[in-house]
Amino acid sequence: MRKKIIAGNWKMNHGPVEAEKFAKELKNYDLDDEVISIIFPPAINLPILKDKLTISLGAQNMYFEDSGAFTGEISGDMILEAGGEYVIIGHSERRQVFGETDEIINKKVKKAVEIGLKPILCCGENLEEREEEKHQERIESQIRSGLKGLSKEDLENLVIAYEPIWAIGTGKTASSEDAEEMCAFIRELVGKLYDEDTAEKLLIQYGGSVNPENIKKILAKDNIDGALVGGASLKAESFQELVNFKMN
């Protein structure tokens, strides 16, 4: 049985003061400890949250070099040192707003795995690709290039998030059937690229307008092991509702 994994991506929201407030509020709730729960704050908050929270933490991005003259970037080792265990790689906002290519994303995934940081590799099609029924083709190419050069052992600590771009921050969730279809498609692809066992063990999340009201229906699907959540992860109360989805 695969575990469920709920990840809150704060994006560029909450500075240190808000992060501390969130941590204080989250302490008021018991979290289902059978669910892997992770907060991805702006990286500047990692040490504060490490000190105040017992759940896992991660960064929203990293650079693939170890150190040096790369103004504005942070390395994977810095994330580990600051208390991060996971890193989101290839989020659609990184791809679209910051021009990250499949090649850059693959370099980042490889570096993360090499140093023991667990990557959540994101993929997702845009509205046009969905309407033209090119979504599977798009996802296949993103997954193939994202995983290039990785062994099946490397995949033990890697998570894939399927996030259709048209569902992110729009309030327009993919239907649970569509989300399941794509997560199953990804699992099958990983089975072809590696083997059945690797595919069976892989954790695959859905992301895009997940909230406490719709999470249960989405996570009831066989191939959806969790959710990557933006907006609904910003408040402690709603984040705990996501993690405790079984009780709702």
Contacting positions for ligand PGA (CB under 6 A): 9, 163, 168-169, 207-210, 228-232
Least separation in angstroms between CB 193 and ligand PGA: 24
CB 164 within 8 A of CB 125: yes
Catalytic residue, from 85, 163, 180, 241: name it. Answer: 163
Distance CA 224, CA 230 (A): 17
Given 14, 91, 100, 180, the catalytic residue: 91
Residue nearest to ligand PGA (CB): 230
CB of 169 to ligand PGA, least distance (A): 4
Residue 129's SS3 state is helix
Identity of the residue, 46 or 227, whose beta carbon is nearer to ligand PGA in the bound complex: 227
The DSSP 8-state label assigned to residue 212 in this structure reads T
From the CB of 144, what's the least distance to ligand PGA, in Å? 22
Residue closer to ligand PGA, measured from CB, 87 or 232: 232
- Angstrom distance (rounded) from CA 98 to CA 87: 17
HSE, CB side, 13 Å, CA atoms: give it for residue 14: 25
Q: In the complex with ligand PGA, which residue's Cβ is closer, 94 or 187?
A: 94
> CB neighbours (10 Å) of residue 191?
15
Nearest residue (CB) to ligand PGA, 7 versus 198: 7
| Type of residue numbered 152 | K
Which of 61, 80, 53 minimizes the C-alpha distance to 12?
61
> Does 91 qualify as catalytic in the annotation?
yes
In the complex, the smallest distance separating the C-beta of residue 78 from ligand PGA, rounded to whole angstroms, is 22
196 part of the active site: no
What residues are annotated to the active site? 91, 163
